[in-house]
Amino acid sequence: MATTAAAADGPVLAGCSYGYSCVYSDNNWAGYRLSFYTCALRDLSKYAYPGGGYWNDKMSSYSNNQTRGTRSGYYIYSSANSAWYEQFTSVAPYAAGSIPSPWNNGLDGIKVC
């Protein structure tokens, strides 16, 4: 479930409150944002994108500001195999102002925790 960031218990990283992993629609942590806190694999096609459509294939930057050492995984979904495939991970604290090809605007999910 997407959540709105609350008061931070630690430093904010690229606009993402401490304890959260955030994804952004634009490079350099700009545009629209989703913030996740609870451990789970999130299907971005289940989250409405402002202005229409869904969040899958709309992520261009991210910030993993969970507790130090916590991993977030970034996934694509294969409808042919009905399976999720991890493409890369980030270990907190870490922020990427742009996601390289072929994943920029091509990711379908994020696993927080």
**Residue by residue, what is the 3-state secondary structure of 90-110?**
EECCEEECCCCCCCCCCCCEE
Domains along the sequence of the chain with CATH: 20-112 (2.60.20.10)
pLDDT tier at 2 (50, 70, 90 boundaries)? Answer: very low
> What is the per-residue pLDDT across 8-27, written as a single tens digit (0 to 9) for each?
345 678 889 999 999 999 99
Q: Spell out the residues 6+ positions from residue 89 whose beta carbon is closer than 8 angstroms to its own.
A: 71, 72, 73, 74
Based on C-alpha coordinates, what's the Rg of the chain? 13
For the chain, percent of residues with pLDDT exceeding 90: 85
CA atoms of 17 and 107, how far apart (whole Å): 22
Of residues 9 and 39, more confidently modeled? 39
**Of 106 and 13, the one with more pLDDT:** 106
The CA distance from 22 to 61, in Å, is 9
| pLDDT band at residue 51 under the 50/70/90 scheme | confident
